[in-house]
A and B are shown apart, each in its own frame.
Chain A
Amino acid sequence: MSGGVERVDGLDGGFPSSQLEHDGELIRTGAPVTGVVGLGEVIVTAHGDGGLRFFGADQPPVIAPVHDGVILSMARAGADRVVTGGEDGAFRETATDGTTTLIARLGRRWVDCVAAHPRRGHKACSVGGRVSVWIGAAPEPVELEHPSTVAGLAFDPTGKRLAVAHYGGVTLWTRTGTGWRPDRLEWAGSHVSVAWSPDGAYVVSAMQENALHGWRLQDSLHMTMSGYPAKPRASAWVGSRPYLATSGADQIVAWPFDGEEGPMGRAPLAVNYAGPALVSAVNGLPGTAVVFAGLDDGAVLMSDLEAKPQALVLRGTTGEAVTGVAATPSLSHLLVGDSAGTVLWAPLKA
C-alpha cells in the first residue's frame, strides 16, 4: 500500500505525551473499553464490567450498570440512546440519562452483535447464527437464520436492508411487502465485521485473513483490499468523497469510494505514523475529512485526509491499545478508551 503523504516522525520509544492529555481528565475504570459511540455532544463508552458511561461537556459522567458481564457490542439507536448486547444474553436500550430498558433476553448465550437504524427506529441483534430484527415500534422481532455465527450486522442508510457478516460471505436481507428476502454475497473465508458506504452502493467486510472484501451491489462486483498486517476490523467513512479509513496497519489506510469504480484499481491514501504500532481504532468527524487514529501502543493521532496530510499527536504512547476514539461534533472534547479501561476525556479547543 502506498500513498502520497509525508511521514510524521515518531520516536523509537513511542509518541511523546501531549498538552491535551495534561489538560484532560483521566478516568481509570478498570474495565476494558469495548466500544465508543458518539451521540451528538455526548460520547458513550461500553465496558467489560457491563457498564455504560456517558461523557458530556459540563457534567460528571453518567454511569449506568447495564449488563451482567462484558458488553460485546454497541450501536447508536437515536439522538440520545444506544443499544447494547452482552455476555448475559440481554439486548438493551439505554438513554444518555442512564435509564435502561430490556428489549429482549435471548437465553444464556452471548449477544454478539447489535445494529440500529436511528431514524426509523429499527433494531437488531444476533445470538449465534440467528438475527432478531425489530422494525420500528413492532413489539415482536422477525428471526433471520444464518449458516454460521454472525460476526457483523449493519443496516443500510435507508433502513430497508440489513447486511449480516458470517463465514463464507455476507447475507443481504431486503425487506419486502411480505417479509425479508436474502441475497447471498459469497466470498470464501470468515467475515468478522460489515459496513455500508454512506450512499448504500457498497458493502465492505473485514476478514479473518487481514483483508477487506467489498461488493458493488448493482452488479455484485468483488473488491479485495489486502496487505494488512492485522485484521482491519475497525473502519470509518470519512469526508465527502468519502474515504473508508481503516485500522490494521502501521498507517491509516483510506480507500477512496468516489466515482463509478470506487477504490478499484486505485491506491489508497495512506498516512504514515513512522512507528511499529498498528492502528487499532479509527473514527471520523461528521462534516469534515478529519480522521482520528488510535494505535495499539495507546497513542492517538489526528489527520485531515483532504488538507495537507500530516498527523498531529493528540495523545502519546501509553502501552495500552486504544479500543475506541471519538470527538464531539463541536470539537469541544476528545474521548479515548483503551484495553485497560482507562478513558481520557480532554478539551480539544486550545
Chain B
Amino acid sequence: MNGKVPVTVLTGFLGAGKTTLLNRILTEQHGRKYAVVVNEFGETGIDNDLVVDADEEVFEMNNGCICCTVRGDLIRILGGLMKRADSLDAILVETTGVADPAPVAQTFFVDDDVAEKTRLDAVITLVDAAHCEDQLEHSHEAPEQVAFADIVLLNKTDRVDAATLARIEARLRAMNPYCRIIPTDRCDVPLDQVMGQSAFDLERVLEIEPDFLDSDHDHSHDDAVTSVTVQADRPLDPDRFQRWFSALLQEHGQDILRSKGILDLNGESQRYVVQGVHMLMESDFMGPWPAGEARRSRLVFIGRGLEQLDLEKGFAACQAA
C-alpha cells in the first residue's frame, strides 16, 4: 500500500507466546524479508537475519503533553531500516510485557519521517488464557495492551476449561469491542489473520458493526478499562461535534485510550470517519453511505473512567437542531 512498509506490533506479557508467534511468522513466511525489532531485555531465540535491539525509550515532546509520547528508539531504528539497499516486506516490533503500547502507536501519528515511509499495520496482543485474569486484575499494562489491540491472540486455551474461556472472551470483548479475538493453543493461527491487516486505515473503521454488545460493567473498580459506544440517529452539527470531540480529547485524552467512529454530519453526503489514539486524532470523508443502511452516527471509546465523562449526553447534544 503506497509502497509503505507495514509494521506489526506484538505486545503481551512475558510468557504469553510472543516469541513463538514471531518465529512462526519468520519461518513460515520464508522468501519474505523481515526486520525484527526486539527489546534487549526480551526473550531470546529469534530466528532471523535482521534483528535490531531497541531500548524502548519513551520520549515526551517538549510541549509537555504526556499524551504525545513517542518511542524515540523506534524513530531512529525505522529511519535506519528505510536506508537499506534491499526493501523489506514488513517490520515486526516486539515490546516488553510491561510496555504501554500507546507511544508505539503515537509514533506513527506524530513523526512525519516515520509516517512517510512506514505504516502501522496492526497491534497484536498475546494473552495467556491461564494467567490473564490475574494479570488484567493486578497490572496497569495488561488492560492497556488489550485496549490497544486490533487482534487479541487468546493463547494457551488448552489450559483452561470452556467456562473460563467464555468468561475471558466476554471480559476482553467488554474492554475492547472492535478487536478480533482469536483463540489458539500454541499461536497456531493462520498468518494471513495477523499480517497485512491495515488495521489503522480509516477504511477499516467502516467495519465497526452498528450494534455492539452492551458493555460489561461488572469490573467497576476505578482503574478498569472499559468501552462505551454512543449512537445518534439524527445528523450531527459539524461545528458542535468538532468542539465537543476536541475538547473531550484535550481534557481527557489521558483516559481515552482509543476512539473510532463513523459519523453522519449535517449537510454532508459522505460518511465521516474518525480514529484516535489518546489525544491524537485523524479523520476523513470515506465515501457515501451504503444504500439501504440507516445513516446512524456511532462512536466507540475505550478507556478508563469513561462513565464519568457523560459521553452519551455530550454526543446527543451534537445532533443538529
Residues of A within 8 A of B (CB): 30-32, 34, 47-49, 69-70, 72, 87, 108-110, 112, 128, 148-149, 151, 167, 187-190, 207-209, 230-231, 339, 341
Contact = CB atoms under 8 A, between A and B. Distances in A.
A341 B85 contact: yes
A49 B81 CA distance: 11
A208 B58 CA distance: 13
Contact of A151 (B52, B76, B83, B84): B76
B80 A32 contact: no
Interface string B93-111: 0000000000000000001
Contact of A187 (B52, B62, B82, B84): B62
B89 interface: no
Contacts of B84: 32, 48-49, 69-70
A208 B61 contact: yes
Given A208-B75, A341-B85, 20 more contacts: A32-B83, A34-B83, A48-B83, A49-B85, A70-B80, A70-B83, A70-B84, A72-B83, A87-B80, A112-B76, A148-B55, A149-B55, A149-B76, A151-B76, A188-B60, A188-B64, A190-B61, A209-B63, A231-B113, A339-B83
A207 B111 CA distance: 12
Interface in B58-84: 59-64, 70, 72-73, 75-77, 80-84
30 contacts: A32-B82, A32-B83, A32-B84, A48-B83, A48-B84, A49-B85, A69-B84, A70-B83, A70-B84, A72-B80, A109-B53, A110-B52, A110-B77, A110-B80, A112-B80, A148-B55, A149-B76, A188-B60, A188-B64, A189-B59, A189-B60, A189-B62, A208-B59, A208-B70, A208-B111, A209-B61, A209-B62, A209-B63, A230-B112, A231-B113
Interface residues on B, range: 20 to 34
Contacts of B77: 110
Contacts of A32: 82-85
B57 interface: yes
A32 B83 CA distance: 6
Question: Which 7 residue pairs across A and B have the least CB separation, nearest first?
Answer: A189-B62, A31-B85, A49-B85, A188-B62, A48-B83, A48-B85, A190-B59
A189 B63 CA distance: 8
A151 B112 CA distance: 17
B53 A167 contact: no
A188 B76 CA distance: 18
A31 B61 CA distance: 33
Interface in B24-56: 52-53, 55
Contact of B72 (A208, A230, A231): A208
A167 B85 contact: no
Contacts of B112: 230-231
Contacts of A187: 62
A189 B75 CA distance: 14
Contacts of A208: 59, 61, 70, 72, 75, 111
A192 to B, nearest CB: 8
A240 B46 CA distance: 54
A117 to B, nearest CB: 25
A42 to B, nearest CB: 23
A287 B112 CA distance: 35
Contacts of B80: 70, 72, 87, 110, 112
Contacts of B53: 108-109
Contacts of B52: 110
B33 to A, nearest CB: 13
Contacts of B55: 128, 148-149
B48 to A, nearest CB: 13
B245 to A, nearest CB: 25
Nearest to A341: B85
A32 B77 CA distance: 16
Given A32-B85, A47-B85, A110-B80, A149 B72 contact: yes
Most chain B CB within a 10 A radius of its CB, from A30, A149, A341: A149
Nearest to A233: B113
A203 B72 CA distance: 22
Nearest to A29: B85
Contacts of B73: 149
A225 to B, nearest CB: 14
Contacts of B64: 188
B77 to A, nearest CB: 8
Contacts of A167: 57, 59, 72
Contacts of B62: 187-189, 207, 209
A149 B85 contact: no
A167 B72 CA distance: 9
